[in-house]
């Protein structure tokens, strides 16, 4: 086997819920041939292989027929299977709790689809009816319904809980008249059958020519390797239950399988858990879905109580609310996603703003320091300017003094020249001045004498 199909993974540690506890010590035999007859397989994991011809996922081993059920002492589908194995192994509620919770959930979901294809009065056998809740629901809707189970304990529990008839399995098909059943329901059963071809062919003999099979079974979608499923935590991993789930069909392989068993007409309906299940109706005859009015009329005519239609109404309302809730949750998650992105964008913008602000502050500080430096330089230049002005002023006044001195010198020089070399005109002028000043002096003296005498 190629190494990539034997990963060194500790499933118990990584996904402990995937490993149900070991079933009771039962005899196993290799499952070395697919329902389609092929014995060519591709490896998948340690417990399963893929049929190369039809694509069905097969368990490598199956329990021996004698250990399947019929007693509660060590058989695979015994009392233990319905109690401890459900809680500890599959993390599901026990069959006792499910006897209540399934009635308002999957039983109504299944009934609605059953009514679409077959209306009461009609005879139904549910193979693997567990607590019997669906048999009771069908009876309430007017069907003549019975169940089949393997564990004597769960048969007794179903009878006591719902007052229904449950046959001991494995079903002795000779105990049911051929062509007497309108419906055989197999919910989470097909994948458990050790030889599905034998079983389904026998069931077809029990159905009327237009009878139907109602099947819910895991839907194997072979688009991922086991390793990819592990890394994606694929919900389908929970359907890998060695020795319990023996044949995991694809949509194509289940069609091929049922067609080969004489069910030429097949319709897929939405599965309740569509993420890992499929839900289908198969018949040898043409399927004729009924209108709502015909369904309600048939139920109200056949049912002993008038509770079923209002319960289906209630279920439809609850389903619509659930869908709306899921839609709102999707919108909420979308809003949260957008908000988270906006928050991240806003944080980036704020971070960028603060980074820019810091940068500007640093530049501002740098500019302030430069301004202080320039101011100091300016003060220094101003002081120097004042100093130069003062020196300039000093020089100017010195220059003035020098100019005055030069002017006086020049004047003196001229006067001296004139004194040394007087012209006749100047001599006359000077004479005139002398005479004038002499006469004036004489007059001032006379006036002074007159004034003095008067005073005496
Ligand atoms: Zn096959």
Q: Which domains does the chain show, CATH number per domain?
A: 3-223+233-306 (3.40.50.150)
Measure the CA–CA gap between 30 and 419, rounded to whole angstroms. Answer: 161
pLDDT the model gives residue 35 = 97
- What spacing in Å lies between the alpha carbon of 76 and ligand 1's midpoint? 25
- What spacing in Å lies between the alpha carbon of 54 and ligand 1's midpoint? 4
- What spacing in Å lies between the alpha carbon of 306 and ligand 1's midpoint? 46
- What spacing in Å lies between the alpha carbon of 90 and ligand 1's midpoint? 27
H helices present in 123-188, as ranges: 133-140, 152-162
pLDDT the model gives residue 92 = 77
305 to each of 138, 182, 292, how far by Cα in Å? 12, 22, 19
Given a cut of 50, whether residue 384 has pLDDT beyond it is yes
Q: Is 16 or 313 the better-scoring residue by pLDDT? A: 313
Query: Residue 15's closest CA among 240, 175, 186?
Result: 240
pLDDT the model gives residue 2 = 32
pLDDT the model gives residue 267 = 98
Element (H, E) at 382: helix 308-420
What's the pLDDT band for 6 if we cut at 50, 70, 90?
very low
Given a cut of 50, whether residue 8 has pLDDT beyond it is no
Structure tokens at 446: 């006379």
pLDDT the model gives residue 448 = 79
What's the pLDDT band for 328 if we cut at 50, 70, 90?
very high
- What spacing in Å lies between the alpha carbon of 51 and ligand 1's midpoint? 5
Q: Choose the weakest-confidence range: 9-23, 62-76, 325-339, 402-416.
A: 9-23
Measure the CA–CA gap between 215 and 268, rounded to whole angstroms. Answer: 10
Instruction: Read off the pLDDT of each residue in 227-244 and give the average, rounded to a whole number.
Output: 93
- What spacing in Å lies between the alpha carbon of 190 and ligand 1's midpoint? 15
- What spacing in Å lies between the alpha carbon of 12 and ligand 1's midpoint? 30
CB 219 within 8 A of CB 276: yes
List, for residues 32-88, the tens digit of each pLDDT value: 999 999 999 999 999 999 999 999 999 999 988 766 666 666 667 777 776 666 677
How does the average pLDDT of the chain come out, rounded? 88
Instruction: Read off the pLDDT of each residue in 414-439 and give the average, rounded to a whole number.
Output: 79
- What spacing in Å lies between the alpha carbon of 38 and ligand 1's midpoint? 5
What residues contact residue 24 under an 8 Å CB cut-off, 6+ apart? 67, 74, 75, 76, 78, 80
- What spacing in Å lies between the alpha carbon of 254 and ligand 1's midpoint? 10
- What spacing in Å lies between the alpha carbon of 37 and ligand 1's midpoint? 6
What residues contact residue 126 under an 8 Å CB cut-off, 6+ apart? 134, 135, 138, 145, 146, 147, 148, 184, 185, 186, 187
List, for residues 186-225, the tens digit of each pLDDT value: 999 999 999 999 999 999 999 999 999 999 999 999 888 9
What residues contact residue 156 under an 8 Å CB cut-off, 6+ apart? none
Q: Is 107 or 174 the better-scoring residue by pLDDT? A: 107
Measure the CA–CA gap between 212 and 86, rounded to whole angstroms. Answer: 30
With tokens 């709502």, the residue in question is 292
Secondary structure (H, E, C), 96-128: HHHHHHHHHCHHHHHHHHHHHHCCCCCEEEEEC
What's the pLDDT band for 420 if we cut at 50, 70, 90?
confident
Give 297: exposed, middle or buried? Use CB within 10 Å, 0-12, 13-18, 19+: middle
What residues contact residue 215 under an 8 Å CB cut-off, 6+ apart? 185, 186, 187, 190, 254, 279, 280, 281, 282
pLDDT the model gives residue 86 = 67
- What spacing in Å lies between the alpha carbon of 36 and ligand 1's midpoint? 4
What's the pLDDT band for 419 if we cut at 50, 70, 90?
confident
DSSP assigned state of 33: S
Element (H, E) at 453: helix 424-455
């Amino acid at each position: 086997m190629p190494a990539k199909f034997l990963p060194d993974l500790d499933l118990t540690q990584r996904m402990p819920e995937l490993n149900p506890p070991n079933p009771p010590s039962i005899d196993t035999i290799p499952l070395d041939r697919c329902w389609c007859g092929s014995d060519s397989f591709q490896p998948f994991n340690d417990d399963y292989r893929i049929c190369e011809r039809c694509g069905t996922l097969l368990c490598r081993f199956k329990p021996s027929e004698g250990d399947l059920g019929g007693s509660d002492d060590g058989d695979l589908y015994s009392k233990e299977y319905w109690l401890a194995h459900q809680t500890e192994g599959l993390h599901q509620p026990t069959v006792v709790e499910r006897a209540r919770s399934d009635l308002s959930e999957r039983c109504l979901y299944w009934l609605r689809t059953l009514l679409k294809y077959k209306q009461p009065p009609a005879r139904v056998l549910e193979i693997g009816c567990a607590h019997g809740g669906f048999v009771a629901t069908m009876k309430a809707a007017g069907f003549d319904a019975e169940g089949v189970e393997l564990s004597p304990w769960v048969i007794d529990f179903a009878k006591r809980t719902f007052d229904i008839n449950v046959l001991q399995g494995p079903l002795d098909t000779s105990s049911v008249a051929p062509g007497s059943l309108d419906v055989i329901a197999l919910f989470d059963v097909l994948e458990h059958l050790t030889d599905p071809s034998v079983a389904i062919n026998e069931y077809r003999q029990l159905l009327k020519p237009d009878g139907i099979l109602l099947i819910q079974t895991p839907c194997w979608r072979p688009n991922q390797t086991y390793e990819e499923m592990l890394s994606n935590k694929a919900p389908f991993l929970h359907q890998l239950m060695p020795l319990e789930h023996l044949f995991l069909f694809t949509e194509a392989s289940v069609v091929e399988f049922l067609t080969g068993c004489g069910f030429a007409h097949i319709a897929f309906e939405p599965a309740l858990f569509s993420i890992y299940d499929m839900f289908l109706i198969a018949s040898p005859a043409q399927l004729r879905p009924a209108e709502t009015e015909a369904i309600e009329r048939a139920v109200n005519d056949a049912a002993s109580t008038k509770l079923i239609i209002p319960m289906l109404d209630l279920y439809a309302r609850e389903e619509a609310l659930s869908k709306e809730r899921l839609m709102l949750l999707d919108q909420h998650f979308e809003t949260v996603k957008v908000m988270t992105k906006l928050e991240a964008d806003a944080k980036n913008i704020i971070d960028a703003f603060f980074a820019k602000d810091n940068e500007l502050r640093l530049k501002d500080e740098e500019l302030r320091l430069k301004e202080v430096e320039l101011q100091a330089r300016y003060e220094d230049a101003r002081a120097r300017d004042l100093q130069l002005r003062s020196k300039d002023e000093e020089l100017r006044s010195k220059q003035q003094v020098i100019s005055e001195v030069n002017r006086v010198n020049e004047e003196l020089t001229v006067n001296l020249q004139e004194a040394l070399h007087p012209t006749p005109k100047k001599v006359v002028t000077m004479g005139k001045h002398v005479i004038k000043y002499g006469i004036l002096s004489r007059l001032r003296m006379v006036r002074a004498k007159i004034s003095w005498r008067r005073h005496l």
